[in-house]
Structure 1
């Protein structure tokens, strides 16, 4: 089954877009956070400051349990994800509800994501779940993060689930083989 995901260029287009409306900016930010952490909608919605801890490397990580599989997940925070958390630190709704982001209903998020895709010229049926696929493919696997690590961060209980994402990365295979070709030639 083809799982849609965003390319680097599409992520950049969404990131760079200035929205006149506050709600579209917030939906964009929460979506991008998920693109850089791999968290599903239900998991992002329940994140609070208490989920942020110092990981084995001394950097900030999110430690939580995936709602769907109840598996423990530990995800190192990339700079963009940290930047987005800081952006909403003082947001009244986040302070009042003790959450990292002011997350709307999944239905509303998806509706606004369609609007965002439209404004950014992205011809894909943009849903919140695409952020997870984008993390798996564009952000991690295509940048050389091993599939075992990606599987662990996504909270998959079986690596076969993660392998669905790897099938679509012919570009990665091509790049890896180019490196090998150069090594063998020298």
Structure 2
């Protein structure tokens, strides 16, 4: 299965989600940026840096796409089984994300929106839902991820959130909600097979 993760804006959690999914699903990652932190976390058998045309179709791969949609990215986005669009729920980020959704939906309507780093009782989350409805995107699947130190610890511990949570102790307690969130996202992805 080919999965694309993209947003025009950086800092929305694309790479974090890509890494946790790659570890969890045992997928490779193709990144379109020559510098990516993934170089420090995936070996050459699991990471391909492709700043130009991606001619090959891959099984079991996640595309970590940043920036605007190039013709090469458009080809991959069209054939991806699902396109995940993560974003931080703040007005400027949501505005750019609306542009990303508009661009992607013209290529592939199998989109999952992932509001990222959601806090309990987040008022911006309700506003974001209203904004999506305004633009007619309220029918797209939404799989929110709560804020958690587990997101940064993926890079420190080189483990999935599920593995860190399974270790028990404070991590077992603290990571259960974000682990549930990721499990829901994975189930939603698998529903596109």
Flag the structure with more relative contact order, 1 or 2, with Cα contacts below 8 A and sequence separation at least 6. Answer: 1
Decide: shared fold, TM above 0.5: no
Greater share of strand: 2
Whose helix fraction is larger, Structure 1's or Structure 2's?
Answer: 1
Tell me the TM-score normalized by structure 2: 0.25
